[in-house]
Copies of this chain bind each other. A is one copy, B any other.
Amino acid sequence: MTVARTVELEGHIIDSGMMQQCFGVVMDLGGNFDVEEFEVGEHKDAESYCRMTVTADDEDSLREILHELNQHGAHLSNPPNATLKPAPGDRVVPHGFYSTTNHPTKVRYEDEWLPVENIEMDCAVVVKPADEDSDDAPRAYTKVLNAIEEGDLVVADEAGVRVDPPERPRGSSGPFGFMQGGVSAERPSGSLIREIAEAIAETKADGGSVLAVAGPAVIHAGAGDALARLVREGYVDMLSAGNGFAVHDLERGQYGTSLGMDVETMESPRKGHKHHIYTISEIIRAGGIEEAVEQGLVEEGVMYECVENDAPYVLAGSIRDDGPLPDTITDAVEAQNAIREQAHEADLVIMLSTLLHSVAVGNCLPSTTKVVCVDINPATVTQLLDRGSAQAIGMVTDVGTFVPKLAEVLVEE
């Protein structure tokens, strides 16, 4: 006794790898397939089409296969409406809930496809039916586990869900055509920086938003001025960082000008961790970063430019923080929500030397957002690129030379 369903694939299913992955999924999970129809695009611009029957030993195995196929872009023929189950409690999903990918997704509801709003991975999909009173149309959107409320109508199983993984850009098509999702250790650094600059410039030219995610190493490595310049010149619209980044930046901005200490000297002698704590204390006394800028306590740096140029920033707290600053969001769930909001607005994200914050931001990004990830540790770059953006570039380099060069190319050329 076996069970079967028919699925369809269409598009650039061969050269994008979709077909290979789908065939692989069926084999890996112990199923079988019969190809019923296959029309190959006869030249490189033509789309292909494949319809096949997938067979498995039992319903559970079949469901698992269909789940994976669905996530790779294979869709059920004659899709039924999605199954909706009420959440049994706050922050509790029904058994068999559908867990999202980061790819564009639709759910079938009352025989129509509803696009899922705010797509991001590892969420549930909640359907809000039409509201006759207010005339609101039905909607589908993602909810993270901790946002689920009892009674929410949660999509369960794969049926009636349709995922459309973006086909990877190929050749010279588009700004990110120069590298297809790889970490290139063998690419000339200079040309790669130029190409990243071009991608940022194009995003800005198209009216898009650039989000910088920055770790404290940006300041230590001496790239603070260059990042501040990118904010001032409008190439970075938003900042996502941690308490440590802000404190190191403010310490430079505060001690560098207002208290008369030479920035270079300050760094060269001993650790001076006391300055670190004292900086936080003074910002607390001022009432926050914005107030410290207004009071003239801080006169330069990345945080200063964010305040002066209305570039919103999210400072997320962590257990290794000193202080923290009044601006730091210490609750992880609240911080995630703030990060989520920024991530959804960004068209291009540049991640600079921070694994923690980059993963947090990356978790909230749809696969269609452009991502540039820069770190001196190749393992960090690989880990970030593995999270499934379709348009991601990794560069293993030193932020201390990278950001100044990037700013030079963007601002001066």
Q: Which residues of A contact B (CB under 8 A)?
A: 14-17, 19-20, 23-30, 32-35, 38, 40-44, 50, 64, 67-68, 88-89, 91-93, 95, 97, 99, 121-122, 124, 144-146, 170-171, 178, 185-191, 193, 217, 220-223, 264, 267-270, 273-274, 276-278, 280-282, 284-285, 316-324, 330-333, 335-336, 339, 356-357, 359-360, 363, 376-379, 396-398, 400-402, 404-405
Contact = CB atoms under 8 A, between A and B. Distances in A.
Nearest to A186: B220
B319 A400 contact: no
Given A24-B170, A189-B398, A376-B398, 16 more contacts: A15-B23, A19-B19, A23-B44, A29-B269, A29-B270, A67-B274, A93-B277, A145-B322, A178-B268, A318-B319, A318-B360, A319-B336, A377-B379, A396-B398, A401-B402, A405-B405
Nearest to A330: B332
B44 A32 contact: yes
Contacts of A146: 323-324
A182 to B, nearest CB: 11
Which of A281, A284, A377 has the most CB atoms of chain B within a 10 A radius of its CB?
A281
Contact of A319 (B267, B335, B377, B404): B335
B220 A93 contact: no
A38 B32 CA distance: 20
B20 A356 contact: no
B122 A273 contact: yes
29 contacts: A14-B23, A26-B44, A27-B170, A27-B171, A34-B42, A92-B282, A93-B278, A97-B278, A122-B273, A124-B277, A144-B322, A145-B277, A146-B323, A188-B221, A188-B267, A189-B222, A189-B223, A191-B222, A317-B332, A318-B332, A319-B360, A321-B332, A324-B333, A330-B331, A376-B376, A376-B396, A378-B378, A378-B379, A398-B401
